[in-house]
Amino acid sequence: MSEDQINDTEINETVEAAADEAAESPLAKLEAELEKLRADVLYAQAETQNVRRRLEKEKQDASAYAATGFARDVLSVADNLSRALSSIPADLREDERLKSLLTGIEMTGKELDNVFQRNGITRIEAMGEKLDPNKHQAMIELPHAEAEPGTVIQEMQAGYMIKDRLLRPALVGVAKAAG
């Protein structure tokens, strides 16, 4: 067992045993003091190691989630682009004069999705899922005959995760019992 792995009980037992011996002789008194100082050193080493680990984790989290604020801002751009594409009527989609414009807008949307994917930003699947308060924000309850109560039946705004953290919850409508 290394010095880093000695637990508190073993240290306390060693210090107590040394203190008992200290009552008997001056040499034992010095040995008890030495054991106490060893215990203090072990505590200091353990604390240093804990601080080092905590700082390393904070450094990793900072680099992994540094773009969170920027990503949250860009989500509104993605929402507006999606709304723009969905609002174009079918007859205008067939117009030859607008096809290249529509293709460009669709390619921009796909590139934005690729950028999100490269940076660990994923869309939360909500439709048909059970309401998860860690990923969904229920905005309305709607009576529904077929869907089980608590199931997402409408998505008002897409939700996103950045790696394993919530970037923005999905705004959803949830089924409730009909009647």
Q: What is the 3-state secondary structure (H, E, C) of 30-95?
A: HHHHHHHHHHHHHHHHHHHHHHHHHHHHHHHHHHHCCCHHHHHHHHHHHHHHHHHHHCCCHHHHCC
Mean pLDDT of the chain, nearest integer: 87
pLDDT for residue 51: 95
Radius of gyration of the chain from Cα atoms? 31
Question: What is 68-177's CATH topology?
Answer: Nucleotide Exchange Factor Grpe; Chain A, domain 2 (2.30.22)
Q: Which of 46-55, 57-66, 69-78 has the highest mean pLDDT?
A: 46-55
Q: Give the closest residue to 170 by CA, choosing from 143, 117, 134.
A: 134
Dihedral over Cα of 129, 132, 138, 140: its sign: positive
Residue recorded with tokens 């950028």 = 115
Residue 1 confidence class, pLDDT cut points 50, 70, 90: very low
What backbone torsions phi and psi does residue 121 show, to the nearest 5 degrees?
A: -100, 120
Q: Is the overall model pTM greater than 0.75, yes or no?
A: no
Residue 66 confidence class, pLDDT cut points 50, 70, 90: confident
Q: Indicate whether 115 pLDDT > 90.
A: yes
Which amino acid, 51?
A: V
Domain ranges in the chain are 3-64, 68-177
End-to-end Cα spacing for the chain? 67
